[in-house]
Amino acid sequence: MAKKVVATLQEGKKDGRAYSKVIKMVKSPKTGAYIFDERMVPNEAVKDFFKN
């Protein structure tokens, strides 16, 4: 029965696949330590996120 439940969840909304979770390591100007910039961005904007 578990397989059937998983299959029905995938058939539902497909908007969730339009976004990706991206994580970029950025050096903090105050302390010099690295911090992580973590966001959910549309798949089309992933390259733009890493360019900036």
What is the longest distance spanned by two Cα atoms in the chain? 54
Q: Which pLDDT does position 16 carry in this prediction?
A: 61
Q: Which pLDDT does position 44 carry in this prediction?
A: 92
- Mean per-residue pLDDT, 12-20: 72
pLDDT tier, 12 (very low <50, low <70, confident <90, very high otherwise)? low
Instruction: Indicate if the pLDDT at residue 13 is higher than 70.
Output: no
Q: Which pLDDT does position 17 carry in this prediction?
A: 81
Q: How would you class 50 by CB atoms within 10 Å of its CB: exposed for 0-12, middle for 13-18, buried for 19 or more?
A: exposed
Per-residue pLDDT tens digits for 24-52:
999 999 999 999 999 999 999 999 998 87
